[in-house]
Amino acid sequence: MNFFKNKRILIGVSGGIAAYKAVILCSILRKAGAKLKIVLTENAQKFVTKLTFESVSGFPVYVSMWEKQGFDIDHISLKDFADITIIVPATANIIGKAACGICDDLLSTVLIGLKTPVFVVPAMNSDMYQNNILQQNIQKLSQNGFYFMEPCIGNLACGVVGKGKMPEPEEILEFIENKLNFSENSSQKTIMITLGATREYFDRARFLSNPSTGKMGSAIIDELINNNFNVIAVCGHISENIVINKKALCINVVSAIDMEKAVEENIKKVAAFISCAAVSDFRPEFIFDGKLKKQNADLNNIKFVKNPDILKNVSAANPDILMIGFAAETDNFIDNGLKKLKQKSLDMLVLNDISRKDIGFATDNNEVIIFEKNIQEPYLVKKSSKSDISKIIVKKIKEILNKN
C-alpha cells in the first residue's frame, strides 16, 4: 500500500448497498497515508451517513452543491484536488450521468471537469449490469479514458446469484495500482497487433481463409492494456465469442491487402508490431462478379497470386521498430523457426504446432516455442492457456523495450 502514500484521492460514493465497502476502502487508504476527500450522493447517504465516512476517514465529506466548505467553489476545488478519483460503488445512474454529461448534483458536476484518472467500480443487479444501454455507457466512458473494474459473480442483495457484486476493497486498490504503477520506459508506448483470419474472396459468396479465431491475439491485447500500453488492433475475421478490449483502437479489415494497408498507415505511430493474424498466402487473381455456378464454373481458369508477406515487408521498412511474428508449423520446428526469425529480421518469433488438435486454432490452450534475436536457445512454453502465454510474451516485449 506504499503506492498510495501522500496520493490525493477523491472518493465518489453513489447509492448502492455496497456503499458500506467504500467505508472500508477509505479506512485502508487512510492507514496507507493517502489524503482523501469524499463526495456522497443524496442516495448514498440513505445507506451510509456522512458522519460514518468522516469518522472512519478523518477527512472532509461533501454532500451538496450548496453546502460550501470554506470560500472555494466545491466542484472546482474537488476536481483540482484529485490525483486519482474512485467512484465506488458506481450505480447505473451515476454511470449514465457521466456518459451523458449530466451535472445535477455535486458528484456528477465534479466528474465532468476531471482531467486525472477516474476508476469506476460498478455494483448492481446482474440484469441492470448486462443491460445494453449501461454497457454502451461504460464503453463510451472507457473510450474517454475512464477505467472500469468489472464486478464479481456472487450473491447479490436482491437474492440472486449473478454478476454485479462489488469486489473487495483490497482488490480494488490492487487493480488501481496495477493500472498506474508501471515503468517509465513503457509508459504510453503504442503497440500494433494484427489478429484473426484474412479472407480472400473468389466471388460474392465464397472465400479462401483459415480456422483462426483471434483468441490468442485478443489475449495479448488484454495483457498489453493491463501493462498500460496503447494498442492498435488490426482485426481480420474473428470468432463471434471473442471480445476485443474496449480500450484498443480496432481497425477491421477483410483481405491481406486490406491488412497490409492498415498496418502501413499506422506503423510509424508504434514502438512494436506483433503479427498474430493468420494471413492467407494466396488470393484469387480476380473476384468473379456475382456467384460462381456449379454448372458453368471453369475451375481451371481460377488463378492464384501470392499475397504480400506483411511482416517481412514491414520489418524491412522499419528497422527501428520491435518486430514480433507468429508462425504456424507442422514439423521441423527449430529449423523453420530460426529460418523465419532471420529471413524476416524479427526480434521475436512465436511458433505454433498446428499438427495437434488439442492446441492452436480455436482452442483455449496452446504450446509455443519462442525464438529471440541474439538468444541461441529457443524457449518452450508447454501447454498452457492462451492467457498465460500472452503474459509471457508481453513480459518479454517489455523487457526488450526497456533495454532500448
DSSP assignments along 83-149, one per residue: SEEEEEEE-HHHHHHHHHT--SSHHHHHHTT--S-EEEEE-S-HHHHH-HHHHHHHHHHHHTT-EEP
Residue holding cell 498507415?
265
| Known catalytic residue at 158 | yes
Please report the pLDDT score of residue 278 as a whole number: 92
pLDDT for the residue numbered 326: 95
Cβ count within 10 A of residue 144 = 10
The total of other beta-carbon atoms located within 10 Å of residue 387's CB is 16
CA–CA separation, 59 and 30 (whole Å): 9
Cell numbers linked to 303: 488463378
Q: For 326, list phi and psi in degrees, rounded to 5.
A: -115, 145
- Which is catalytic among the residues 103, 152, 158, 276? 158
> Counting runs of H as helices and runs of E as strands, what totals does the chain give?
13, 20
What gap in Å lies between CA 331 and CA 341, rounded to an integer? 16
Q: From CA 145, how far away is CA 158, in angstroms rounded?
A: 31
Query: Tell me, what's the pLDDT at 224?
Result: 94
What pLDDT, on a 0 to 100 scale, did the predictor assign at position 186? 44
For residue 25, the model assigns a pLDDT of: 95
**Taking a C-beta distance cutoff of 8 angstroms, is the pair 274, 191 a contact?**
yes
Domains (ranges, CATH) in the chain?
2-180 (3.40.50.1950), 186-403 (3.40.50.10300)
Q: Do 197 and 243 form a contact (C-beta atoms < 8 A)? A: no
In the numeric block, which cell numbers belong to residue 284? 484469387
pLDDT at 154: 79
Q: Is 338 exposed, middle or buried (0-12, 13-18, 19+ CB in 10 A)?
A: middle
Q: Which residue has the cell 441492470?
A: 128
Interhelix angle 19-31/169-180, nearest 10 degrees: 60
- Which pLDDT does position 64 carry in this prediction? 87
Integer Cα distance of 341 and 376 in angstroms? 12
User: For every one of its 404 residues, what pLDDT tens digit does the chain have, with 9 covering 90 and above?
Assistant: 688 999 999 999 999 999 999 999 999 999 999 999 999 999 999 999 999 999 998 888 999 887 766 545 555 678 788 889 999 999 999 999 999 999 999 999 999 988 888 999 999 988 889 898 999 999 889 878 888 998 888 777 777 778 889 999 999 998 888 777 543 444 458 999 999 999 998 887 788 998 899 999 999 999 999 888 989 999 999 988 888 887 888 899 999 999 999 999 999 989 999 999 999 888 988 877 777 776 655 666 678 899 999 999 999 999 999 999 999 887 888 999 999 999 999 999 999 887 777 766 767 788 899 999 988 889 999 888 899 999 999 999 988 887 76
Amino acid 360: pLDDT: 61
pLDDT at 158: 72
The contacts found for 125-133 with CB under 8 angstroms, 24 or more apart, are 125/156, 125/158, 125/160, 125/162, 125/164, 126/156, 126/160, 126/162, 126/163, 126/164, 127/162, 128/92, 128/164, 129/92, 129/163, 129/164, 130/163, 131/92, 133/96
pLDDT confidence of residue 13: 97
